[in-house]
Amino acid sequence: QKEVEQNSGPLSVPEGAIASLNCTYSDRGSQSFFWYRQYSGKSPELIMSIYSNGDKEDGRFTAQLNKASQYVSLLIRDSQPSDSATYLCASLQGGKLIFGQGTELSVKP
């Protein structure tokens, strides 16, 4: 299986700022991408899915996909301390979700 890469962080942003999380993938055949949020000691929670090139917005979250560059990102606007968690990027390959190692985000009050 091919890889999904994320910066492990930690990424620290002040409250109210925009947090930018990045992910690259190596399988050009991947068509489906997901962002999950995982709080410490909890299971992952799906926050965004994206299937087409461009931006997809849902509340304070915007996912961006660029298949030519094999790049997926997640922007969190107006970051809140409650957004502090590990964010997992995943691509669907051969019917299986392949996860990156996760980026730890810390939002400071």
Q: Least Å distance between CB 40 and another protein?
A: 10
Q: Least Å distance between CB 92 and another protein?
A: 5
Cα–Cα distance, 39 to 36 (Å, whole number):
10
Task: For another protein, give the closer residue by CB, 71 or 99.
Answer: 99
Task: For another protein, give the closer residue by CB, 18 or 46.
Answer: 46
Task: For another protein, give the closer residue by CB, 15 or 58.
Answer: 58
Q: Least Å distance between CB 13 and another protein?
A: 21
Greatest CA span in the chain, whole angstroms? 41
Task: Say which residue the tokens 């915007």 belong to.
Answer: 62
Q: What is the DSSP letter of 18?
A: P
What HEC string does 73-99 produce?
EEEECCCCHHHCEEEEEEEEECCEEEE
Task: For another protein, give the closer residue by CB, 16 or 96.
Answer: 96
3-state DSSP assignment of residue 17: coil
**Token pair recorded at residue 4:** 């999904």
**Token pair recorded at residue 19:** 């947090």
Residues lying near another protein in the complex (CB under 8 A) are found at: 32, 34, 36, 42-46, 49, 51, 88, 92, 95-97, 99-102
Q: Least Å distance between CB 22 and another protein?
A: 16
